[in-house]
Amino acid sequence: MYASIAPMFLTHLECSACGLEHDCSRLQNLCLSCHKPLFARADLTKAARTLTRENLATREKSLWRYREVLPLPPDVEPVSLGEGGTPLLRAPEFADDVDLWIKDESLNPTQSFKARGMSVAVSMAKHLGATKLAVPSAGNAGGALAAYAARAGVEVHVFMPRDTPRANIIECRELGAHVTLIDGLITDCAAEIGRRKADEGWFDTSTLKEPYRVEGKKTLGYELAEQLKWQLPDVILYPAGGGTGLIGMWKAFDEMETLGWIGKNRPRMFAVQAAGCAPIVRAFEAGEKHAPEFPDPHTIASGLRVPKAIGDFLILEILRESNGGAVGVADEEMIRVAREVGAKEGLFVCPEGAACFAALKLLRLAKKIASGERVVVFNTGSGIKYLECYEGHSRNGGL
C-alpha cells in the first residue's frame, strides 16, 4: 500500500531479533522471517536538525512534541487526545531515604499510559489504510484503543477476559468498540483474534505485534530525561505485563544517546510483576533468555496478568544489561501499599503502580537500592478503574 510522499524521518522497520529489514510504507505485524517484534528506525541525524533539547521547551505538551523521532510523516495529522506530558512528582513521604519520584500516567486520556502507544499506533494504522482494528486487552489497552479508534473513525474489536475490571469493559462499549468477553486469559483473547483476523479483515493491534505502540511508549523515556534535566535516574521500577514501556524507554535512551542528548549511563531497570503471574521474574532468576508461559496465572493487577510476553527476550536482555532485575509482589501487598501511597502522597494508584511501590520496599530490604539513590516509579493508571478490587478489600475489613 502506498503511503506518503512527504519527507519522513522514519526509514524502515527492523526485526528486534534477526535484524531483517521491512518496508515501513505498508501495514506490518511481526517479522516475516522469525515472527518476532519489529522496531521502527528513524534517521536521527536528520531528526536532530530540527529537534533539539532547547526547542522542545517551546513545543506543545503532548507526546507529539517529539514528532521527528515518531513514525508519522510530518504532513499527516496525528490522532491525538492530548496524551503524554504527564507530571513527574516527588514522593517524599513514601520515600524513606531514597530520592523517590512518581511518573503519574493516570493523567493520560482514558486514565492510563496505554494512551501513548495507541495514539501513535492508531495514527499509523489509519495513515497506512487500516479500517478495522482488533486487540486483546487486560483492560486499559482496550479502552485506549477504543478512544483513539473512535477519534480516527475506524472500527475496533476488543477481546477481554470476562473478569476484566468493569470500568474497562464499560468504557470500551461507551466508546463504540465491539467488545467480546472471553472465558480465559489475555493469551486466549490473542489466539481468538489470530484465528479470525484474516477472514474479518482486522489489523492486529496487539502490543509488540505491530511496530508503533512501542514508539508511543518510548516517549516515557524522552519525557523522563527532559523532566530530570537530562540526567537519567539511578533506578526505574516498571510494572511489566507485555513490557512495552520498558522496551520503549530503553529504545528512547539509545536514541537520545545517538542524538547527543544523554551519555552512556543507564538506570538499573526493574520489571515488577505480580507474584501470581511472574514469568519474567522466574526466567530472570533462572538465567533464561526466554520466559516460558506462567501456569495458572492470577492477580488483581489485571495489566500484569500476562502469562507469556512476545517481547520476553527483549525485557530479559534489558534487565541484565542494565544490572537491574525482576520482582514479584503479592496482591495483598499491592492493596495495602496503594492505600499507603494514597494517604501519604495524594494519588489513587492502580494496583500495577502500587506493585512498584511495594517492590521498592522489597529492593531496599534486599539492599539492591542504596540510600540517596534517585528512583522513578511508574503509576501506569488510575485506581478509579479498579473499584471492585479495592472495594472488595475495604469491605472485607481489613487493610
Sites of contact with ligand PLP (CB under 6 A): 112, 114, 138-141, 207, 239-245, 303, 350, 352, 380-381
From ligand PLP, Zn ion, none, interface partner of 307 (C-beta below 5 to 8 A by class): none
Q: Which three cell numbers stand for residue 82?
A: 492530548
Nearest approach in angstroms of CB 196 to Zn ion is 25
Q: Name the DSSP class of 293.
A: P
**Spatial separation of the C-alpha atoms in residues 213 and 225, rounded to whole Å:** 20
> DSSP E strands: which ranges in 183-323?
203-204, 235-239, 268-274
Query: Do the beta carbons of residue 139 and residue 302 sit within 8 Å?
Result: yes
**Toward ligand PLP, which CB reaches closer, 127 or 328?**
328
Nearest approach in angstroms of CB 19 to Zn ion is 7
Backbone angles phi, psi at 175, to 5 degrees: -90, 5
**Spatial separation of the C-alpha atoms in residues 236 and 290, rounded to whole Å:** 22
Q: Determine if 32 is a binding residue for Zn ion (CB under 5 A).
A: no
Q: Determine if 34 is a binding residue for Zn ion (CB under 5 A).
A: yes
From Zn ion, ligand PLP, none, interface partner of 33 (C-beta below 5 to 8 A by class): Zn ion
Q: Determine if 310 is a binding residue for Zn ion (CB under 5 A).
A: no
Nearest to 339 by CA among 304, 376, 386, 275: 386
**Spatial separation of the C-alpha atoms in residues 103 and 112, rounded to whole Å:** 11
**Toward Zn ion, which CB reaches closer, 33 or 131?**
33
Nearest approach in angstroms of CB 142 to ligand PLP is 9
Q: Which three cell numbers stand for residue 80?
A: 491525538
Q: Determine if 42 is a binding residue for Zn ion (CB under 5 A).
A: no
**Toward ligand PLP, which CB reaches closer, 78 or 245?**
245
157-108-65-10 Cα dihedral, nearest 10 degrees: -30
Q: Determine if 33 is a binding residue for Zn ion (CB under 5 A).
A: yes
**Toward ligand PLP, which CB reaches closer, 213 or 268?**
213
**Spatial separation of the C-alpha atoms in residues 3 and 25, rounded to whole Å:** 5
**Toward Zn ion, which CB reaches closer, 36 or 268?**
36
Nearest approach in angstroms of CB 201 to ligand PLP is 26
| 15-23, 199-207, 252-260, 299-307 -> range binding Zn ion (CB under 5 A) | 15-23
- List 3, 15, 208, 356, residue binding Zn ion (CB under 5 A): 15
Gyration radius from the chain CA atoms: 20
Query: Do the beta carbons of residue 135 and residue 145 sit within 8 Å?
Result: yes
**Spatial separation of the C-alpha atoms in residues 240 and 380, rounded to whole Å:** 10
From Zn ion, ligand PLP, none, interface partner of 245 (C-beta below 5 to 8 A by class): ligand PLP
Nearest approach in angstroms of CB 112 to ligand PLP is 5
**Spatial separation of the C-alpha atoms in residues 67 and 145, rounded to whole Å:** 20
**Toward ligand PLP, which CB reaches closer, 3 or 272?**
272
Nearest approach in angstroms of CB 30 to Zn ion is 8
Annotate 113-159 with DSSP letters as a single string. Answer: THHHHHHHHHHHHHHTT--EEEEE-SSHHHHHHHHHHHHHT-EEEEE
Query: Do the beta carbons of residue 25 and residue 12 sit within 8 Å?
Result: no
Nearest approach in angstroms of CB 311 to Zn ion is 13
First-to-last alpha carbon distance for the chain, in angstroms, is 56
**Spatial separation of the C-alpha atoms in residues 347 and 341, rounded to whole Å:** 7
Nearest approach in angstroms of CB 288 to Zn ion is 20
**Toward ligand PLP, which CB reaches closer, 109 or 242?**
242
Nearest approach in angstroms of CB 180 to ligand PLP is 17
From Zn ion, ligand PLP, none, interface partner of 189 (C-beta below 5 to 8 A by class): none
**Toward Zn ion, which CB reaches closer, 15 or 354?**
15
Annotate 102-114 with DSSP letters as a single string. Answer: EEEGGGSGGGBTH
From ligand PLP, Zn ion, none, interface partner of 18 (C-beta below 5 to 8 A by class): Zn ion
Q: Determine if 18 is a binding residue for Zn ion (CB under 5 A).
A: yes
Q: SS3 helix, strand, coil % of the chain, rounded to 5?
A: 40, 15, 40
**Toward ligand PLP, which CB reaches closer, 46 or 282?**
282
Q: Determine if 31 is a binding residue for Zn ion (CB under 5 A).
A: yes
Nearest approach in angstroms of CB 14 to ligand PLP is 20
In this structure, is the dihedral angle defined by the CA atoms of residues 107, 396, 171 and 205, taken in order, positive or negative? Answer: positive
Contact positions vs Zn ion (CB under 5 A): 15, 17-18, 20, 31, 33-34, 36
